[in-house]
Amino acid sequence: MSKEITNLDPKKLWENFYKLTQIPRPSKKEGKIIQFMREFGENLGLETIVDEVGNVIIMKPATSGMENRKTVVLQGHLDMVPQKNSDKTFDFEIDPIEPFVEDGWVTADGTTLGADNGIGVAAAMSILESDDLQHGPIEALFTIDEETGMTGAFGLKADVLDGDILINMDSEDEGELYVGCAGGTNGNMKISFIEENVPDGHKAFKLELSGLKGGHSGIDIPLEKGNSNKLLNRYMWHAAKKHGLRIGEIDGGSLRNAIPRESFAIVTVPAAGEKEFLECVKEYDKIFKNEFLSIDPGIKLEAKPAEIPESVMDKVSQDKLLNAVYACPNGVVRMSTDMEGLVETSTNLAVIKTEGNEVKIQCLMRSSVDTAKEDLKNMFTSVFEPVGIDIVFEGEYPGWKPNMDSAILKTMQDVYNKKFGKIPEIKAIHAGLECGLLGGVYPNMDMISFGPTIRYPHSPDEKVNIETVSKFWEFLLETLKAIPVK
């Protein structure tokens, strides 16, 4: 079934994308894809470099008559977000993605597809192996670990590239040109607790908050989708006060940059109050269904009988945790006043997990305004620090400030208008494109980002629109022809 995508047009691009789907490449586990890309470049007889952090750079000379054009860096990232449905048996470090065609889109069977950023990588591969396309000098930069730390972009040295223009192919709306993005930082919270015996007369249940769509914590954050960690905590906060709930274990979310879709907890309640506890679960299930009817209609809260846990969290620590997570900011914090419809500042309460006698919490905070990002960090500190929950910020990366006088922006606007009869929209994105970091290393490089239409990235519903991939490809080819002389 999955190989049917190789019959789509443009054929060469889809063939390369299919090859990528067959190579495991979750973030921080890119060894196989790095080796594949190294061999890909070397087999073409092109100069190929793997730098000290694992980025792959492949150089291709200009085609005949285009030698005097400015050098273009075609840039994409090799890693993909590993998300799957809970009922899907799949190992992202071993198993190939299973793509298929459905109603004009390519999607995957129960997992993320990897179109983010596999389509961009496949496009660059197709340019590199072509012998009938017109272009000036090309430097293809394939970075690693974009999704969980941007360590590839962080580690790129200033003496690797000679390009004048960087075309990032990691945007997700065809017909739009991106000239700016948000910066971000990671928040890591941790609370230690005393393991206590389960109170006498208690009965155990597994709470399951599931059925949410999730998605990209930057791009999808303005959709106000449900956050399973916040919602499960909301119920447990109530049940702890009304029904004597005690927490044995929590497991919610998996990645900072994905809105959590499922959260679970092993809890105990007095057996004498079992009926009231289960009625309360049903009540909150109805509340959540009503609140998220239009955006997350599949949401459900359930309580299933479970084995009594070995221990539960001490009551003082449990109260601190439930109160802090309840108060923790999540979602859109502020919209931009400069660009209509753009989120300026947001946060995603991404992961809550019990490990031994600790509960660890991970958040990703984004903002296109540095001072607003600092304010958000202060906000988190004021929630967690006073109750004794440790908080550390790390992995901060800069935003990408728009340059409305960009030469490549004007070139691509003209090319798109001539090719498709309209001027593309100019936008900034509330996500962490690598352009901000790469611009710090190469401050004189003119940068832009574009791509085909991708929906629900970072979730098992991820899909890419077939028609827009064709337009993206045609636009890229015409842009390379139009690159000005040095």
CA 51 to chain centroid, in Å, comes to 24
Q: Which two tokens stand for residue 470?
A: 């064709």
461 labelled catalytic: no
* CA separation for the pair 476, 36 (Å, rounded): 24
What's the 3-state SS for the chain?
Answer: CHHHHHHCCCHHHHHHHHHHHCCCCECCCCHHHHHHHHHHHHHCCCEEEECCCCCEEEEECCCCCCCCECCEEEEEECCECCCECCCCCCCCCCCCCCEEEECCEEEECCECCCHHHHHHHHHHHHHHHCCCCCCCCEEEEEECCCCCCCHHHHHCCCCCCCCCEEEECCCCCCCEEEEEECEEEEEEEEEECCEECCCCCEEEEEEEEECCCCEECCCCHHHCCCCHHHHHHHHHHHHHHHHCCEEEEEEECCCCCEECCCEEEEEEEEHHHHHHHHHHHHHHHHHHHHHCCCCCCCCEEEEEECCCCCCEECHHHHHHHHHHHHHCCCEEEEECCCCCCCEEEEEEEEEEEEECCEEEEEEEEEECCHHHHHHHHHHHHHHHHHHCCEEEEEEEECCECCCCCCHHHHHHHHHHHHHHCCCCEEEEECCCCCHHHHHHHCCCCEEEECCCCEECCCCCCCEEEHHHHHHHHHHHHHHHHHCCEC
Which of 79, 145, 173, 249 is catalytic? The answer is 79
The SS3 assignment for 245 reads coil
Q: Which two tokens stand for residue 301?
A: 């809260």
N-terminal to C-terminal alpha carbon distance within the chain: 47
91 labelled catalytic: no
Residue in the block written with tokens 């940068």: 447
Residue 238, φ and ψ in degrees, nearest 5: -65, -45
Which among 368, 367, 371, 366 is positioned nearest to 349, based on CA atoms?
A: 366
Q: Compute and round to an integer the Cα radius of gyration of the chain.
A: 24
* CA separation for the pair 399, 184 (Å, rounded): 7
Q: Which two tokens stand for residue 452?
A: 């085909």
Which of 139, 145, 146, 262 is catalytic? The answer is 146
Q: Show which residues are catalytic.
A: 79, 146
